[in-house]
Every structure is written in C-alpha cells, then in structure tokens.
Structure 1
Amino acid sequence: MSLTLLLVLALSVVIGLSLGVLGGGGSILTVPILVYVAGFEAKEAIAASLFVVGVTSAVSVISHARGGRVMWRTGLIFGAAGMAGAFVGGLLGGHIPGQILLIAFAIMMVATSVAMLRGRKKKNNDAAAPVKHELPLGRVLLDGAVVGLVTGLVGAGGGFLVVPALALLGGLPMSVAVGTSLVVIAMKSFAGLAGYLTTVQLDWGLTLGVTAAAIVGSLIGSKLAGKIPEAALRKAFGWFVLAMGTFVLIQQAPPGLQWPIAAGVAGLTAATAGICWFFISSCPLRNRGRRSTDVPSPA
C-alpha cells in the first residue's frame, strides 16, 4: 500500500469526522482531497464525492432516526425535489470544463466557510419548538431543486444549505433539521452521481476505500459530537475551509491573477476582523481580548 493511498484514506476519515461532529462539510473536504492528493480529474472527483457523501450520510441517518430526529415526510419531499435538481446539475457538470467547476467549487468553499464562522443561531426553546405539518410545497420544491442543482453541479453545498432551509420552511428544531438533512443529502447526492455517470468513469476501488474510511470517521464523530465544543470546532473548521477554498481558487486562476486573489482574500479577512473588532460589540475577537485582560495577574 503506497504512502499516497494511506494519506488519502487517513484524510477520508476526517471527511467522516466532519459529517459526524458538525453535520456537514464532507463534500467540501472530499473534492480537494481527491483532486490534489489522490490525483483525480475535477469531474471524477466531484462524482466520487457525491458517492462518498451520499453513502456516509445514509449510514449516519440511522442513529438520528433511532433518536427520533428525522422527519421522513419532510425529508422525502425536499429530497425528491433535490434529486431532480441534482440530476440536472450532474448532467450539466459533465459538459462543463473542469477548471470552471473547480472555481465554482472554490467559491462554494468560501461561502461555506463564512456560514460556518457565523455559526447557527439556536433558540432557547429549540427542543420544544412546534413542528409544522403543513409545508409550503411550492417553496419546498423550488428550494429543493435549487439546492440539488448546486450539489449536483459542483458536488458541494450539502448540510450547510439544507439545514437552514429545513429549519425555516419545515419549522423543524435544529437537531431534527440536521437529522432530516442527512436524508436529503443522501438522496440528492445519488441523483447527482447518476447524472455524472453518464459522462464520467470512476475508479471504484479507490472510491469505495474512501467511502469506507469516511464511514469509520462518521461513526467516531458521532461519538465525539457531544464531548467536543461544537462552536470551537466549527470556527476552526471554517477557517480551514476558507484557507482550502482560497488555495483551490489560486491554483485554478490564471498566473497573472493568483497573487491579486491571494492579496484580496487576505485583505478581506483583515477588513472583516477590523470591522468586527471596532464596530461589533459582541465580536468574539474583542471578547476574547477582554477575557484575557480581565484575568487578574497572580500576586
């Protein structure tokens, strides 16, 4: 077994850990790992990521279903719309140049990192929040199709798009939205994969190996989910995804634009931190600084 294969499998465990602990982020890691470590072509990596995330989500949903955190009717309705969009996205993705797909994927990574750094707002009565039984079907079908299209096209945008949509449209508590989203993610991932398989051939041996490692990681992650502070993990992972997205964007940019893009992202990050520090009273950076200065020094 080569060193590269061992590295790919080890990183695949991290994919599963992300899904198990954070409830998302699997596809955001899968595509860069397959492209830059395993040596897959862009389209093959996106198709393989859809399979990996689809199977891992399907396995992960079992524990959520046992805990009563899955609304099957809501998930199946949203997932059915997502499957249609994902299949179309997969068909389109097979005819779009790989460089454009990777640029779109990098933009999705940056958007996902922002969502992760912002975090999810939890309501105090989240666990006791009433669940709506009548869904706005037109809106659900439209949103499901759009989310599915994005997922099928670039192989990303799973839980971080589905969970908020389920919470808002279906009135689901956040914990139930996370469990239900796994049903949706599995359905639309397999539909997107079907679209890609019309034009893309996969290395099934390596794809199945990555999937198995990701499943192991997801099982470990589900055990760690309640023991590690989610907020800290989410922020750390968000910064990592931002760095990875910037790296992919720079790699795919024309040579003359690589340094301007890097400088632009660095400047935007610095500007955001400055705005947070000076203008937002609840800024984590400022609060962290206050906590460190408020601690009395030992006599």
Structure 2
Amino acid sequence: MLLPLFYVQSALMEWVEIAGYGMGLIIGAILGLLGGGGSVLIMPVLVYLFHILPAEATAYSLFVVGCGALMGTFGSLKRNQVDWKTGGLFAVPSMLAVYTVQRWGLPAIPETWAIGQYQMSKDTLIMGTFAFLMIAAAYSMLKRKTALKPKSFGNGLWWIIAAEGLVVGAITGFVGAGGGFLIVPVLVVLLGMSMEIAVGTSLMIISIKSLVGFFGSLGNGAEVDWMLILPFMALTVVGTHAGTLMRSRVKGSTLKRIFGWFILLMGVVILLTESN
C-alpha cells in the first residue's frame, strides 16, 4: 500500500518541478515584453515549487533575473533601445543598495523576532513583504489611467532618479525582485522616454543591480544549487529573448491586465499561506 503511494508522490514531485522549470519560460517572456513584472513570480516558484528557503531564494532570484535581463538588454541594444546615461544614473545607487542589503542587511535580521506578542520568522517576513509587493505591482498594472503625455524635466531630476535607484535597489536586495514595475513608469512619465526605450533601459538597470546583488550574497557565504538553478536560468533567458522579439507585436495593455490579475491572486495566496 505504501509503495504505490511513494511512486505517486515521487511522480507528483517530478511534475511540480517540471512546472517550475516551465514557469522560467513564462517569467522570461514577461520580463522581455514589459521590462519588469516577471521577476515577482520567481520567488514563489523557487519557494513553493522547488522548496528553497526564502532567504536563500532571494540570491537565486537575483541570479536568474540578472541573467534574463542581460539577455533582454542585448536584444534592446541591437534596436538602439537603451539610454545608457539615464540607466547608469539609476543603476549605480541601485547597485550599491542591493549589494549592501544582500551582504549585510539580510544576515543582520534575526531568524525570529517579535512585535509585541506577535512572533515572526525571517522567512515569513520576506515572503509577507514580497506578497505586499506583488499586490502593489498588481494595483499599478490594473489601475485605469488617463492618457498622460510624457514630459521631460531635464537634468534637474537627477536626484529623483538616484533616489528611486536606492529604493528599488533596497527592495531588490531584500525580496529578490527586479523592480522593473517601479523603474519603467519613472522613465516614461518623468523623463519622456518611449515605452520601447524605457523597457530596454529598465532591463539594463535590472541586469546590473541584480547580478551585483547576487555576488554580494556569494560574498556572504551563500550556497547555490547550480544543478537546479542553471537550467531554470537558461529557460528564463530563452523566454526573455522571445519576449524581446515579441515586444513590437503584442498589445502591452492587454498583457499587463492579465498579468496584473494573476499576480494579485498570487499575492493574496502567499499572504494567506504565510499567515497560517
């Protein structure tokens, strides 16, 4: 009786892992199409499908996001869709923030801590924060906006770009998300970039800060299961390349709404799961 049950359980685990690897393609495609958004799915896939602890999964996520975004950057460069000056101004403070959080911030958080009578583990804090981030991302994608005419405010906004870079970098280091959903609106609305150039520039920023954050986690002694993460990364890179090619053929507004509802549902599910 136990033997058939063992085989069923083993087969189920294999299918769950196959589904996890398949999600790498979808995540990459979204990243390539929108310049962000897909990375918020990596953490749930790593934690719930591959059973990696959240603190370790942030490092894995940074590696996958960084490699996927790097592929998207190469595709955007071929189409002259990267603004290096603005991207560099955003990426430098973001890179410093994500490295600092991964190298010293996360290790400094105690494994268990309390607020009044309520106790919370470090893993619950990470996933809870991540769930709220997903819900915020969903809201920004689903909110109906009146058409805004992008305006350029000149070089006077350099400090806003740098401050946004610090904030996004800190978020990236803590929860392992790329932060593209925060980067693209700033580039389009405040700096007057076209959506195509904003997406390409966002991918460049994400690739730099995510890979720097990953190396920060390695410097902290993080162990990496390369046999697991390299195939997942490879599929994400393939998906990102496909998404970059499809960018001019897919209606972005429709994709954003579908994806927005999906990550809203996932954010709520994660909150309910972590609250039990």
Amino acid at match of 1:109: M
Q: Is the 8 A contact 2:126 2:175 kept in 1?
A: yes
Alignment partner of 1:32 out of 29, 44, 49: 44
Q: Which runs of 5+ in 2 are unaligned?
A: 1-10, 110-121
Amino acid at match of 1:9: Y
Residue range with higher mean Cα deviation, 10-19 or 138-147: 138-147
1:69 paired with 2:91, answer: no
Paired position in structure 2 for 1:106? 131
Q: Which has the larger radius of gyration?
A: 1
Amino acid at match of 1:10: G
User: What TM-score does the superposition give when structure 1 sets the normalisation length?
Assistant: 0.77
Task: Tell me by how many angstroms 1:199 deviates.
Answer: 4.5
Amino acid at match of 1:112: A
1:137 paired with 2:150, answer: no
1: distance between equivalents of 2:174 and 2:264? 20
2: distance between equivalents of 1:195 and 1:222? 28
Paired position in structure 1 for 2:6? none
1:174 paired with 2:184, answer: no
Paired position in structure 1 for 2:61? 49
Q: Percent identity?
A: 34
User: What TM-score does the superposition give when structure 2 sets the normalisation length?
Assistant: 0.83
Paired position in structure 1 for 2:204? 183
Once the two structures are superposed, the pairs formed by residues 91-240 of structure 1 within 5 Å of their partners are 91-96=104-109, 97-118=122-143, 134=155, 136-156=157-177, 158-197=179-218, 198-240=220-262
Amino acid at match of 1:213: L
Alignment partner of 2:267 out of 245, 252, 255: 245
Q: Which runs of 5+ in 1 are unaligned?
A: 256-299
Q: Is the 8 A contact 1:94 1:199 kept in 2?
A: no
CA distance 1:166–1:106, change in 2 (3 Å): same
Aligned residues: CA RMSD: 2.2
Task: Tell me by how many angstroms 1:121 deviates.
Answer: 6.3
1:84 paired with 2:99, answer: no
CA distance 1:231–1:171, change in 2 (3 Å): closer
CA distance 1:173–1:122, change in 2 (3 Å): farther
2: distance between equivalents of 1:250 and 1:135? 44
Q: Is the 8 A contact 1:30 1:49 kept in 2?
A: yes
